[in-house]
Structure 1
């Protein structure tokens, strides 16, 4: 292999930053309390994956996890899937939040396109959570019930989440920018007992009436017993008797917050990571696993302390909403912004960062690239003197974006680029303040995450691009997928390629320094602006149009290239793809899925490549369009229509030459 060019060194931690970091404080504690002396991050990581029981047990003690019952064994079973963590322990996510209650700083800062910056105290947060929890309990919501939420990134959504899970009920949320069918495809699977929703919202300078959508949600979810209407304008028309209570009534009063203690692996929430076929995967994570893994990420890897003001721009439809909310687990003040990042222009979030005096600012990698293209100079539009750390995730952060961040924000700001996923609600690779930063390279594999790059034969690679795998369990891996009683879909989703080893679906290179570079998705999942979606949801919307016989979509996300998502359609005989039909296709995707997943281009093709069993060959087409030769991406003998690839080979050649 040819020698790689050394990436540019962009940042080196000062002795003061190292000494005051949460990671160094943890290492000092390990030395004093456990007699474990680690000289650097790599030796700490090696211990955390070599002795996972000792590592995770140390975090239970170090983070002083509040619990009703302690555990009898850290790791009952090590199998993947099926690992059993902290056997016998009982706790609740909400207790880990409110043990940090204080009157010294607010719990939440928040602003939106229509609301100026405001704050909510810890006492008021707890009051409203207690009131809503009592209200839901009085209306029959109990442990194990599913409560779904259709709402934007506001304090009310945080309150709703905490109230629901305090009961031992199971939470699930969708963003109002998602189309009705996409929301139903998710919520129908889990048969919710209650819905908490906004009747309207504001985004990108427009007011959006959601009352018709709510009416249709209620009509299509027959298990709903109760509706709480969050602040907004209008009210849905209901086709059946259903309690519909306005937010102010549901959160009035001073009912004490009663928190239900649940087993470590009791379901906390259902999140959705779509596969390429069928409905979105309803992924169930547990209270205890999420507490342990997200606290390690937030505190140790993101270096968040109680005195920090922590913001990660997100919608409720992205797992980073969960991570942003979980800044409360560290006792930090979380800062929420509800609105489009580009409205009225790309300076808005930087101005919010100045107004809220953020110490940590996080966003998707696409945000920084767009700011660079728009010529934004953050320090000219906002006072960012409080800013200590910047985070990036969602898609690979290019070397150019690394350089832009340091050019604009200065050499004292620490950049942590992380990569993980909805699937396990955490990060596999990320940052730590003990090590230098090199352009384009994530600093480390996360503690407790035994991450490797595998070739097709399951051999670990060093400094070569391979499949990202996790060879040992971590506590936040899914408990199960809803309605997957025998676990077949769970195993096929993550363990089909390397039995007993988690395959994540990303291309990764582990560098000689122990850092990592993510190159993009290795599977067919669409990753648009940090939000992942299964291709089946797009196909459902497109192929319902009478003109479209078949379709295929690929996301050409790859490090150093701008994301490009073409859609290929097979039309009925005699039809030609004109602008009017393109507009109808885009509108169908916008209405049924989300505006975020409207393709960059649409092309009419003679056929969609398929296997003998009828499966669309998305990954081979994706690899072709990323420049790989045909003989390396497809087995023509296993195809039903091998001649169909001729069109895509020609298209790839023309695209490469353009």
Structure 2
């Protein structure tokens, strides 16, 4: 990891920066405002010092389809309560994706390509812009119809994979002004219900199966359990089952109602249909209509990784999401109608929502389902990038690190590939060099960072800056990020000196701040604004380095959120499984993430305290057997990605004087982080045990 005195090498510079949309935007700003900004540092400084002018210029430059323009771009500079950016405007999110403003797109051009790990055996399934619009029209017509009666503000959920039908369902939902929330079908029933029971969806789109690593995983039983679990909420009016097996295998098609579980579902909900029939029954004379809504109308619900309870349901707005994504995709990523993006993601991850917005700048999307190492090992995704002429490839740092660890060498050329985006966890310095050695020297490699909380980026790509090994290129335009002293009081927060580590904060409002939590504004305020009053507290430990321009170094989480391979979840999800299935065998537990300086990824560590008194099946049980059963239960109830890499027995669980588990202190100890903690520990001898344990692992 670089320190404040080091100067990591530059690996890339854009050959023609003056031809990029970012440069052209800077020129437009200079001309309009009589300025002489000469580089990204100047442009970023101006963008955060003149927020209203900046966001007005972004609206004009990227193009927004709106039936009514805004009256006031930024009525308040306070961060809480959230300011209503573009106050007075009326627009629709889906319209902006299906009919990108100012983009020359032919109806016959390709909009989406769905691919699974079985390619090229089953081929690829493209969808033109015309076909996409027609499917959205059909789906919206059925959702609006009298059987379901979906209206603005209702919630629609997707237990669904990354394919064209997921995007159709989302766009149909948002065209009406209903709110979309999605969870990948590789999640377990408990994980799904923990999220959906609280938001009370009116409609559920569910895949019948998913394909991963050569195996077909049916979803019928899980869907039935989810529907039964939602029954108490008494909100579900329709379940639409997507025959995604047709994507997954050419040898299986035309699934029967029994195969899809419709025969049972019809006895539980008023409407239960197969997706293809659902679309085909739409009236042909119902036009595609876009409800014109205020800029802060709810669009998406995503879920936080809460460490003290159920994941929080975060409500994101239509305009905040749209303008932020268009700014990032058009300016920071240089994307447009000639671009094609493949982001390796699931529908649970905010990067799915981010990548789908590429439609709003006229780009096409490749939607991939399955293992990144199928059908031909490490060559699988690179070959797909070549075959489908992908220009922008997004993935997790874990994938690139895995290629590096296997010493994979590329044997084909990727002349169309312009950019590789790595997120979810910090990209190690050695992997930067590996990517340039393995792919090609002209690719724009960017480690990026943001989060579910803002459905976008704080740290972004920049075509006007060099790629510097081990760093994130820049703070996004309009994002006034800084580094706060972790020990400064909440009432009077202070910033650290340049190069020192601390908490990532944002000091001025931005349009993609969440509207609220589904649980209410009080929890929303507590989550982001109580730690440093008046500043957005993001929960990342960071460092800024550089002179005129500051590069960002990510050091890990400052809270208890877990991020193995970039998948975010809270320790409470693990605790809930232990309480439900191991109450007599586990007296207490602590779950933290460990990422030491030498580690390339975070490891989830679960520490178990067993009962001190002899109980049937508890103290006498072999710990190896208990460990195996805990892993199996977590895999079944949550997902394979939730399974801890380490499960150890400990002597106690450190707690504060008022009984709260001290996760962050243990995380710092096991991760060898040089971060001070002022936690009041009721049983400090337990922390000594964790220090000894961590030392023994070296």
Once residues 392 and 556 of structure 2 are traced to their aligned partners in structure 1, the CA distance between those partners, rounded to angstroms, is 25
Q: What residue in structure 2 maps to residue 376 of structure 1?
A: 408
* Distance verdict in 2 for CA 1:277–1:270, change over 3 Å: same
Q: SS of 1:533's equivalent?
A: coil
Q: What residue in structure 2 maps to residue 113 of structure 1?
A: 117
Q: What residue in structure 2 maps to residue 648 of structure 1?
A: 690
Q: What residue in structure 2 maps to residue 259 of structure 1?
A: 290
CA contact (8 A) 1:274 1:534 kept: yes
1:107 offset after TM fit, Å?
A: 0.5
Moved more, 548-557 or 364-373: 548-557
* Distance verdict in 2 for CA 1:158–1:465, change over 3 Å: same
Q: SS of 2:524's equivalent?
A: helix
Alignment map for 1:143-292 (pairs within 5 Å): 143-222=152-231, 223-231=235-243, 232=245, 233=255, 234-236=259-261, 237-238=264-265, 240-252=268-280, 254=284, 255-292=286-323
1:508 offset after TM fit, Å?
A: 1.1
Task: Output one character per residue of 1:609-635: Cα deviation in whole Å (capped at 9) or x when no partner.
Answer: 1112221100000111122589x4354
1:318 offset after TM fit, Å?
A: 0.7
Q: What residue in structure 2 maps to residue 90 of structure 1?
A: 90
Q: What residue in structure 2 maps to residue 569 of structure 1?
A: 608
Q: SS of 1:183's equivalent?
A: helix
Once residues 195 and 442 of structure 1 are traced to their aligned partners in structure 2, the CA distance between those partners, rounded to angstroms, is 38
* Distance verdict in 2 for CA 1:317–1:241, change over 3 Å: closer
* Distance verdict in 2 for CA 1:2–1:205, change over 3 Å: closer
CA contact (8 A) 2:449 2:459 kept: yes
Q: What residue in structure 2 maps to residue 7 of structure 1?
A: 8
Q: Is structure 2 residue 663 aligned with structure 1 residue 618?
A: yes
Out of 483, 490, 504, the residue aligned to residue 468 of structure 1 is 504
1:641 offset after TM fit, Å?
A: 2.5
1:41 offset after TM fit, Å?
A: 0.6
CA contact (8 A) 1:78 1:84 kept: no
Q: Is structure 2 residue 423 aligned with structure 1 residue 393?
A: yes
CA contact (8 A) 1:543 1:550 kept: no
Task: Output one character per residue of 1:532-583: Cα deviation in whole Å (capped at 9) or x when no partner.
Answer: 1011001111232131111111112356523222110111233455322111
Alignment map for 1:210-609 (pairs within 5 Å): 210-222=219-231, 223-231=235-243, 232=245, 233=255, 234-236=259-261, 237-238=264-265, 240-252=268-280, 254=284, 255-344=286-375, 345-378=377-410, 380=411, 382-455=412-485, 456-457=487-488, 458-461=493-496, 462-484=498-520, 487-512=521-546, 513-544=549-580, 545=582, 546-557=584-595, 560-562=598-600, 563-573=602-612, 574-575=619-620, 577-609=622-654
Moved more, 428-437 or 263-272: 428-437
CA contact (8 A) 2:483 2:542 kept: yes
Once residues 124 and 34 of structure 1 are traced to their aligned partners in structure 2, the CA distance between those partners, rounded to angstroms, is 43
Once residues 209 and 365 of structure 2 are traced to their aligned partners in structure 1, the CA distance between those partners, rounded to angstroms, is 24
CA contact (8 A) 1:543 1:549 kept: no
Out of 120, 130, 136, the residue aligned to residue 129 of structure 1 is 136
1:293 offset after TM fit, Å?
A: 0.6
CA contact (8 A) 1:319 1:422 kept: yes
1:3 offset after TM fit, Å?
A: 5.9
Moved more, 568-577 or 429-438: 568-577
Task: Output one character per residue of 1:220-245: Cα deviation in whole Å (capped at 9) or x when no partner.
Answer: 11310011111145222235243111
Once residues 3 and 28 of structure 1 are traced to their aligned partners in structure 2, the CA distance between those partners, rounded to angstroms, is 33
Q: SS of 2:398's equivalent?
A: helix
Once residues 26 and 472 of structure 2 are traced to their aligned partners in structure 1, the CA distance between those partners, rounded to angstroms, is 21
1:291 offset after TM fit, Å?
A: 0.7
Q: SS of 1:285's equivalent?
A: strand
Q: SS of 2:631's equivalent?
A: helix
1:593 offset after TM fit, Å?
A: 1.4
* Distance verdict in 2 for CA 1:19–1:65, change over 3 Å: same
CA contact (8 A) 2:238 2:269 kept: no
Task: Output one character per residue of 1:377-399: Cα deviation in whole Å (capped at 9) or x when no partner.
Answer: 23x1x441211111111100010
Q: Is structure 2 residue 657 aligned with structure 1 residue 639?
A: no
1:146 offset after TM fit, Å?
A: 0.4
Once residues 57 and 97 of structure 2 are traced to their aligned partners in structure 1, the CA distance between those partners, rounded to angstroms, is 20
Once residues 373 and 342 of structure 1 are traced to their aligned partners in structure 2, the CA distance between those partners, rounded to angstroms, is 14
Once residues 134 and 65 of structure 2 are traced to their aligned partners in structure 1, the CA distance between those partners, rounded to angstroms, is 20
1:592 offset after TM fit, Å?
A: 1.5
CA contact (8 A) 2:423 2:447 kept: yes
Once residues 201 and 242 of structure 1 are traced to their aligned partners in structure 2, the CA distance between those partners, rounded to angstroms, is 26
Once residues 628 and 316 of structure 1 are traced to their aligned partners in structure 2, the CA distance between those partners, rounded to angstroms, is 32
* Distance verdict in 2 for CA 1:2–1:599, change over 3 Å: closer
1:644 offset after TM fit, Å?
A: 2.0
* Distance verdict in 2 for CA 1:643–1:654, change over 3 Å: same
Q: Which consecutive residues of structure 1, in runs of 5 or more, have no partner in the other structure? A: none
Once residues 3 and 609 of structure 2 are traced to their aligned partners in structure 1, the CA distance between those partners, rounded to angstroms, is 43
CA contact (8 A) 1:624 1:633 kept: no
Q: Which consecutive residues of structure 2, in runs of 5 or more, have no partner in the other structure? A: 246-254, 613-618
CA contact (8 A) 2:418 2:442 kept: yes
Task: Normalising by structure 1, report the TM-score.
Answer: 0.95
Once residues 381 and 116 of structure 2 are traced to their aligned partners in structure 1, the CA distance between those partners, rounded to angstroms, is 10
Q: Is structure 2 residue 137 aligned with structure 1 residue 102?
A: no
1:298 offset after TM fit, Å?
A: 0.9
Q: SS of 2:27's equivalent?
A: helix
User: Aligned residues, how many?
Assistant: 647
1:35 offset after TM fit, Å?
A: 3.5
Q: SS of 1:271's equivalent?
A: strand
1:219 offset after TM fit, Å?
A: 1.1
1:2 offset after TM fit, Å?
A: 8.0
* Distance verdict in 2 for CA 1:258–1:3, change over 3 Å: closer
* Distance verdict in 2 for CA 1:560–1:6, change over 3 Å: farther
Structural RMSD (CA): 1.8
Task: Output one character per residue of 1:491-510: Cα deviation in whole Å (capped at 9) or x when no partner.
Answer: 12111210111111111111
CA contact (8 A) 1:567 1:603 kept: yes
Once residues 6 and 313 of structure 1 are traced to their aligned partners in structure 2, the CA distance between those partners, rounded to angstroms, is 32
Once residues 425 and 33 of structure 1 are traced to their aligned partners in structure 2, the CA distance between those partners, rounded to angstroms, is 30
